[in-house]
Amino acid sequence: MGLRSRQGKFNIPIALAFSSAGEGLEHEEGPVQMAVRLLKTLMVAGAVAFVAPAASALADSPAGFYYGADSFKPTATGSSVPYKEPTVGGTFGGYAAEVWTFADQAGCSTSRAVNTTDVGDANANTQQSGPTGTALFYFMGGPGSDPQYNASHPSASEAYNWGYNQAYYAYKYYVAHGPTAYQPIMFMDIENPGNGTFQGWDEETDKCGSRTGTTPIPSSIDRQTFNGFYNEIFANTPFYPGVYARQDYWNATFGTGSNGSLPSTKEWTSQSHNVIAIPGPSRWCTIGACAQWFGGAPSSNEIEWQWAIALSGDYDQIDSSNAF
């Protein structure tokens, strides 16, 4: 409802203005020409109406909700506070930067998905009341990516230790190299990237993420790795632990029982999502997609939703009332 209301309010005047400026009646026309002109006008008006949110500074809604981004792109716009969300408009309310990955830690790669402009702009926007700033995420390896993982006899303590150490190094890397995070949440990025590499939650991999085995991993073992990471962040850093995942992937990996239960973890979901950013969502829904949470998370832990994974980047929505 909120979305449709915004479109009706802003787009009709824009369409009329475009029509009158571009289609002046400078000569006489017959019925056919008039029909064609009207049709062209309507088509242009429709197109403008479709993209109008990009040109207008629409805010997310309801109060406390903001648009944001993560990883490499999109990049916030503007030259001063408040920086704006690209494509859909509104205040750039938050950003999530990749602090490091388990493959980086193993020396397999060195890249981090960080947009330094977004880091600065998101943090700067916290000068205003509401925006949450930059948070962090760590592309995490499951127990199957631990070089010491034994698929025949998986060890709970080994799995726990594997997660704990990842958190330890994630934070140490942050201390040494940033980026500055004004939103003190460290998300575990738990996913199957789908690009031929794996994270070791449901399979065995080498230290760089190449699959080496397909023996199923018990959800209880996965949970140990999760808990190890959680505990290190919770107990020994100024950050609060969070998790990024899809609901279906989470359920398939951790189950829907106690091993998948998330009573006290800040949550960032990417399910479901669109492949274009527009229209921006209102609350946790937009046309074609709504946020689907997982692990039975209480609503107070519903922090962020990646509503669009588009060619222009990852678009997120943040509920600042649940953030720090």
Partner 1 sequence: MTRSTPAMHSSVRPTGLLPGSLARFIRRLLIPAALGVVAMGLTACGALGSAAALPATTTTTSAEAECASQSLSVSSEPLESAGPSFLVFTLKNTGIASCTMSGVPSLTITDAAGNVVSTPQQTPATSPHSGAPLSSSPVDLASGGAASYWVEFIPCEAPANDDSTAASLSASGVTSGAPLSVPFQATPGCQTLIVSPVVSGVVDPPGFTAGGPAPAPIPPGAESKVQAEKAANPSGANSASARSASARSCAARRGRPAAVGIRVRPRRMRCYAAAKSP
Q: Among 20, 128, 264, 299, indicate the residue that binds partner 1 (CB under 8 A).
A: 264
Closest CB 315 distance from partner 1, rounded Å: 23
Q: Does 148 bind partner 1 (CB under 8 A)?
A: yes
Short-list 277, 268, 287, CA closest to 2: 287
Q: Among 105, 115, 271, 274, indicate the residue that binds partner 1 (CB under 8 A).
A: 105
Closest CB 204 distance from partner 1, rounded Å: 14
Q: Among 14, 44, 81, 156, indicate the residue that binds partner 1 (CB under 8 A).
A: 156
Q: What share of the chain is helix, strand, coil (3-state, %, to 5)?
A: 40, 20, 40
Q: Does 87 bind partner 1 (CB under 8 A)?
A: no
List, as one string, the DSSP characters of 150-200.
Answer: -SSS--HHHHHHHHHHHHHHHHHHHHHH----SS-EEEEE-----SS---S
The partner residues of 241 in beta bridges, in order of sequence, read 186
Stretch touching partner 1 by CB under 8 A, among 28-36, 88-96, 107-115, 276-284? 107-115
Q: 285-324: which residues touch partner 1 (CB under 8 A)?
A: 324
Cα 256 from Cα 259, distance rounded (Å): 7
Short-list 253, 283, 286, 247, CA closest to 268: 247
Q: Does 147 bind partner 1 (CB under 8 A)?
A: yes
Burial of residue 76 (number of CB atoms within 10 Å: 0-12, 13-18, 19+):
buried
Q: Does 190 bind partner 1 (CB under 8 A)?
A: no
Tokens representing 88 are: 């859909």
Closest CB 194 distance from partner 1, rounded Å: 23
Residues of the shown chain interacting with partner 1 in the complex, contacts defined by CB under 8 A: 100, 102, 104-107, 109-110, 123, 126, 133, 141, 146-148, 156-158, 160-162, 164-165, 168-169, 172-184, 207, 220, 223-224, 226-228, 230-232, 234-241, 258-259, 261-265, 324
